[in-house]
């Protein structure tokens, strides 16, 4: 890990339930000292397969530091972990190792792993403490932050609870070593935070593309998410701005079977066009250029237009008053607003989808 551990930046979120969530971003801090609050003796580490080695090292260090028990379980990769069957298996494992209410769960992995671990921690014995070590860029700036957990039951994230972990430790040394594909996926959500609330993030990606300094963009994107979540934990209002690019993006993601980050990039291009039409947004071409600079797609792959429309309609039915989208009046000025079918049509054409 190299160098003396030092935090770069810290946040505290005070939950509505009286629980506190500490977030620390630093370098070389992915060790048991930062992860484990004082006097915890019973620890269950849950990890994704690529992180098994790191997790083993951390569990061993915990034992050396005096934890009576630090057991490790490696879960299936990606969304295969977010299944009810895995939730059940994890409960049973915790029971077998004698995990009690004073224990601590340590979650090491991307957004899928922290979603599963957060859900298990919120429900096992009616709630035990959990800390996250997010290991993907998307996990660090998005999935780990904000206290949403989700399990897939037919539909994605159909079940879940709102509950913050007690601590989130983000080690930029880990993120620096990510394969480019994962960095690009995460960059879509990072630059999204820039478009809705912090133009400096946009500028950083304009300058260096995928090589934008994580020391700059990660704390800035976390700050956007923390500020938004503090205002509206349960997503009854302001938090919706985080869904910029997601209405059309999510439909394209499902219809075309492409990764979430790529779909969000495409969705933002469409939302940018709708924003230009409805609110006179003038940043569309700048937005498209920075996404291209990062190496993200800005047009949809060949896809069934009717299916995309159906999926968008489904989104609309969930809100009785019609389709609402997050639009931009300008960078940093998001507006959640109803849009007409004609405007959505323009957005779809912008990404190469021609409705019949
Ligand atoms: N709770 C929320 O608010 C929220 C928000 C956004 C996304 N999510 C969820 O997050 C998940 C997506 O997150 P993700 O993109 O991190 O996916 P992920 O957790 O599936 O990780 C992607 C891949 O990267 C691998 N990986 C993780 N860390 C690595 C590392 N350091 N080096 C190399 N490989 C590594 C994983 O094993 C996996 O194969 C989805 O399930 C999504 O629903 C949740
Ligand atoms: Zn997203």
Which numbered atom of ligand 1 lies nearest the CA of 261?
Answer: 15
The question of whether 20 is a catalytic residue gets the answer no
Say what the pLDDT of residue 316 is: 64
Euclidean distance between CA atoms 153 and 186, whole angstroms: 24
Name every residue whose Cβ is closer than 8 Å to that of residue 320 and which is 6 or more positions away in sequence. Answer: none
Which numbered atom of ligand 1 lies nearest the CA of 49?
Answer: 37
The question of whether 189 is a catalytic residue gets the answer yes
Say what the pLDDT of residue 226 is: 97
Beta bridge partners of 177: none
Give me the residues of the chain with pLDDT under 50, please.
Answer: 1-3
Spacing of C-alpha 65 from chain mean position: 31
Q: Please compute Rg for the chain using Cα positions.
A: 20
Cα of 243 vs centre of ligand 2, distance in Å, is 7
Ligand 1 in reach of 263 Cβ (< 6 A): no
Task: Look over the chain and give the mean of its residue pLDDT values, rounded to a whole number.
Answer: 94
The question of whether 307 is a catalytic residue gets the answer no
Query: At the topology level of CATH, where does 6-178 sit?
Result: Rossmann fold (3.40.50)
User: Mapping DSSP to helix (H, G, I), strand (E, B) and coil, where does residue 328 land?
Assistant: strand
Ligand 1 in reach of 146 Cβ (< 6 A): yes
Cα-based distances in Å from 240 to 92, 158, 171, 324, 335: 36, 17, 28, 10, 10
Say what the pLDDT of residue 10 is: 96
* In the chain, where the domains are located: 6-178, 191-350
The question of whether 32 is a catalytic residue gets the answer no
> Are 269 and 287 a contacting pair, CB within 8 Å?
yes
Ligand 1 in reach of 115 Cβ (< 6 A): yes
Say what the pLDDT of residue 104 is: 96
Superfamily of domain covering 191-350: Dehydroquinate synthase-like - alpha domain (1.20.1090.10)
Ligand 1 in reach of 48 Cβ (< 6 A): yes
Which numbered atom of ligand 1 lies nearest the CA of 157?
Answer: 43
Instruction: Pick the residue whose CA is nearest to atom 31 on ligand 1.
Output: 135
Cα-based distances in Å from 234 to 114, 146, 237, 242: 18, 9, 8, 13
Say what the pLDDT of residue 355 is: 79
pTM of the model: 0.96
């Amino acid at each position: 890990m190299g160098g003396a551990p030092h935090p770069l930046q810290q946040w505290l979120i005070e939950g509505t339930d009286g629980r506190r969530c500490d977030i620390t971003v630093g370098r070389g801090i992915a060790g048991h000292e930062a992860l484990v609050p004082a006097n915890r003796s019973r620890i269950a580490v849950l990890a994704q397969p690529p992180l098994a080695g790191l997790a083993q090292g951390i569990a061993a260090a915990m034992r050396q530091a005096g934890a009576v028990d630090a057991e490790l379980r490696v879960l299936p990769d990606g969304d295969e972990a977010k299944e009810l069957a895995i939730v059940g298996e994890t409960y049973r494992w915790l029971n077998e190792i004698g995990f009690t209410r004073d224990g601590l769960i340590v979650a090491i992995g991307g957004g899928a792993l922290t979603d599963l671990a957060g859900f298990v921690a919120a429900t096992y014995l009616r709630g035990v403490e959990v800390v996250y070590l997010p290991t993907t860029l998307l996990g660090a700036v998005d999935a780990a932050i904000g206290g949403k957990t989700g399990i897939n039951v037919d539909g994605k994230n159909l079940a879940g609870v709102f509950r913050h972990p007690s601590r989130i430790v983000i080690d930029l040394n880990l993120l620096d070593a990510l394969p480019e594909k994962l960095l690009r996926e995460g960059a879509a959500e990072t630059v999204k935070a820039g478009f809705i609330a912090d133009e400096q993030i946009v500028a950083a990606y304009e300058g260096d593309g995928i090589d934008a300094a994580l020391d700059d963009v990660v704390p800035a994107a976390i700050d956007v998410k923390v500020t938004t979540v503090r205002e509206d934990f349960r997503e009854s209002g302001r938090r919706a701005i985080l869904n910029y690019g997601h209405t059309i993006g999510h439909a394209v993601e499902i219809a075309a079977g492409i990764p979430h980050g790529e779909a969000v990039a495409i969705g933002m291009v469409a939302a940018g066009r709708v924003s230009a039409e409805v609110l006179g947004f003038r940043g569309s071409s700048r937005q498209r250029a920075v996404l291209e600079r990062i190496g993200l797609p800005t047009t949809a792959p060949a896809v069934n237009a009717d299916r995309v429309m159906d999926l968008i309609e489904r989104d609309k039915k969930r809100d009785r008053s019609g389709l609402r989208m997050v639009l931009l009046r300008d960078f940093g000025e998001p507006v959640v607003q109803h849009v007409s079918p004609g405007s959505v049509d323009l957005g779809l054409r912008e990404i190469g989808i021609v409705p019949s």
